Amino acid sequence: MGGRARLVARLATCAILLTFVAELPQASAQPGPAAGIIQGSISTQQTTPLAGVDVKIIDALGRIVASVSSDAEGRFRVANLTAGAYRVMAALDGVVVARSRRETRRIPAAEFYQGIMTTAIEEDELVTGVELPVLSEGTRTGFVEFSRRKGDFAIAMALVAYRVEGGRIADARLAVGGAETHARRISEAEEALNGAAPGQEAFSRAAEAAAAAIDPMEDINNSADYRRSLVRTLMYRALMEAA
């Protein structure tokens, strides 16, 4: 994938996977004026539109429900979508743009999630946009999730993004969703990965660190120990996928 930079972005109403063929492009996407629509534009930092960028729409259950390409003006539009959830935005330090008659707020992902099905959005606010930093060229990514039955909400999921410089891992971003009350980056796992040579040994250490750092939820079907073990496995697999 020479000359390509990959960005995985979960939006408020679903998720999109953008693969750029350009240097340091910027992407913007927001819900359309009608329910169930996502539309946006993709451009370089100089606002030059990027045509032919692949946009895959992934719902909250991890299913690809649509695939489109940006047009000659860098625009894309997908309709007939159901509600989903942010996931990757937590790993990429994204920002949610919320607007009301009172003001427009930019809410960091770390502050946006407040608990199970709970966010920082006020009753009179709407999400009008999501801002995501574009990953640098050569960034490697992996995403793995698990549910007991096809179509169920994920019991746990793991997302990773990192670069390799001089044979060592740099700028590791590791996030977990589903296992706790909200998705978040796991700094302990990132610290275990940064500076290490990519491989099974380093990935195992990071996976163990992620499992130890979380405070897993329990329910009638899934114990905390089960979710912790699942995070360990999924984090390792996501890292292997990225490699």
- Which H, E and C letters describe 205-238, residue by residue? HHHHHHHHHCCCCCCCCCCHHHHHHHHHHHHHHH
Query: Residue 17: what pLDDT?
Result: 30
- As given in the structure block, the two tokens for residue 147 are 């549910």
- As given in the structure block, the two tokens for residue 34 are 């009608």
Q: Are strands 140-146 and 156-165 parallel, antiparallel or unpaired?
A: antiparallel
Q: What angle do CA 125, 131, 133 make, to 5 degrees?
A: 160
The pLDDT-based confidence of 59 (bands split at 50, 70, 90) is: low
The upper half-sphere exposure of residue 136, i.e. CA atoms within 13 Å in the direction of its Cβ, equals: 8
Give the mean pLDDT of the chain. 75
Query: Residue 11: what pLDDT?
Result: 29
Separation between Cα atoms, residue 243 and residue 240, nearest integer Å:
5
Query: Residue 111: what pLDDT?
Result: 85
Identity of the amino acid at 195? G
Flag whether pLDDT at 168 surpasses 90.
Answer: yes
Indicate the range of 4-13, 222-231, 233-242 predicted with least confidence: 4-13
Per-domain boundaries in the chain:
5-131, 140-242
- As given in the structure block, the two tokens for residue 58 are 């992934």
- As given in the structure block, the two tokens for residue 188 are 């302990």
Question: How does pLDDT run across 121-163, given as a tens digit for each residue?
Answer: 999 998 888 777 777 778 898 999 998 887 778 899 999 999 9
Chain Cα centroid distance, residue 104: 23
Dihedral Cα 125, 127, 129, 132, nearest 10 deg: 110
Separation between Cα atoms, residue 159 and residue 56, nearest integer Å:
17
Query: Residue 214: what pLDDT?
Result: 95
> In 3-state terms, what secondary structure has residue 243?
coil
The pLDDT-based confidence of 236 (bands split at 50, 70, 90) is: very high
More confident residue, 2 or 74: 74
Question: How does pLDDT run across 32-48, given as a tens digit for each residue?
Answer: 444 456 666 666 545 66
User: So what's the architecture of 140-242 in CATH?
Assistant: 2-Layer Sandwich (3.30)
Q: Are 27 and 18 in contact (CB under 8 A)?
A: yes
Separation between Cα atoms, residue 4 and residue 77, nearest integer Å:
23
